[in-house]
Amino acid sequence: MTDWTQQTEQARLWFESLRNRICAAFEAIEAEAGSHATFDYLPWDRETEDGSDGGGGVRGVMKGKVFEKVGVNVSTVSGQFAPQFAASVNGASAEQPNFTATGISLVAHMANPHVPAVHMNTRFLTTQAAWFGGGADLNPPIPYEEDTEAFHAAFRAACARHNPTYYDKFKAWADEYFFIPHRGVARGVGGIFYDHLECEDEAAFERNFAFTRDVGEAFLDVFPRIVRTRMGMDWTLEEKAAQKEWRGRYVEFNLVYDRGTLFGLKTGGNIDAILMSLPPEVTWG
């Protein structure tokens, strides 16, 4: 089996550098709005049953004038899957349950209902296989066609630099994945979602890592632009109430269907980091 230790470290350093730049960009937006809000960072260690080093991460959270609540987490963890969960993970089994995972995960819930919420994550995992996954999707309580187009255009361009089939495939995957079956509605206006970009060798790792970096860069370019377009708009109490009710759909998806939530809970992740995706205020009808 290939030793992916060096590649995991490369990915970890990139995810942490992306976190630093995203957080700086979000803090700059808060400063433009006259806020002194900054991120609070809380390191955590993954607990293991046998007391071995299971890795850990850093949970970053900011609550400000523009970002009602935004979490940007990075983690690098390793260990063994529980036997009943291992069979559901690419390259793992009850007989071969070992894994490593490193990644960045971001969810932003905005104060102004005209500003869309957003989710982004990218990750590198190894079991008996090794692969990249991730994506980003826009979740506006009040959709604007130009925001949706700008968001998709950024990821369409990122995909086009690597494979002409990626955007259509990964957009369709996002549309299918970010859907709430019991409501019969999409969680938002989509984006891209990809998983199991296999790294059979070093060349495949470099190719898929380059694409994953471009996904992160696309997000860092487009989302702050959308925020600045909308954050000064006036809003009504009715629009705020609609935002809180819409957030209920987001909660339902993340607690019932989201793979990342399940992965974190099944691998001994930090509970606060896993559930940072939940909004600060929400209502149901």
Give the residues across from 28 on adjacent strands: none
pLDDT of residue 94: 65
Summarize pLDDT for 138-156 with one digit per residue, the tens: 999 999 999 999 999 999 9
Summarize pLDDT for 209-241 with one digit per residue, the tens: 999 999 999 999 999 999 999 999 999 999 999
| Higher pLDDT among residues 216 and 263, named by residue | 216
Secondary structure of residue 22 in the 3-state scheme: helix
pLDDT of residue 83: 74
Is 71 contained in some domain?
yes
In the chain, the number of structural domains is: 1
DSSP letters for 127-183: SSSEEEEEEEEEE-SS--HHHHHHHHHHHHHHHHTT-TTHHHHHHHHHHHHSEETTT
Strands 98-110 and 179-180: unpaired
Is 283 contained in some domain?
no
Is 133 contained in some domain?
yes
Distance CA 52, CA 40 (A): 28
pLDDT of residue 114: 98
- Mean pLDDT of the residues in the chain: 93
Is 194 contained in some domain?
yes
Exposure b/e, 69-98, CB count within 10 A at least 16 = b:
bbbbbbbbbbbbbeeebbeebebbeeeebe
Is pLDDT of 166 > 80? yes
**Of 98, 49, 54, 57, nearest to 74 (Cα)?**
57
Distance CA 230, CA 277 (A): 22
Given pLDDT bands bounded at 50, 70 and 90, which one contains residue 203? Answer: very high
Please work out, in degrees rounded to the nearest 5, the angle formed at the alpha carbon of residue 72 by the alpha carbons of 67 and 78.
165
DSSP class of residue 90?
Answer: T
Exposure b/e, 149-176, CB count within 10 A at least 16 = b:
ebbbebbbebbeebeeebbeebbebbbe
Active-site annotation, residues = 119
Is 285 contained in some domain?
no
Is 109 contained in some domain?
yes
Summarize pLDDT for 123-136 with one digit per residue, the tens: 999 998 999 999 99
This model's pTM is above 0.75: yes
Summarize pLDDT for 45-91 with one digit per residue, the tens: 987 767 778 899 999 999 999 999 999 999 999 988 777 776 777 77
Q: Which residue range is the domain that position 111 belongs to?
A: 5-277
Is pLDDT of 2 > 80? no
Is 282 contained in some domain?
no
- The mean pLDDT value for 28-43 works out to 98
- Assign residue 40 the CATH number of its domain: 3.40.1500.10
CB 192 within 8 A of CB 173: yes
Is 284 contained in some domain?
no
Q: Count the alpha carbons within 13 Å of 172 in the hemisphere toward its beta carbon.
A: 4
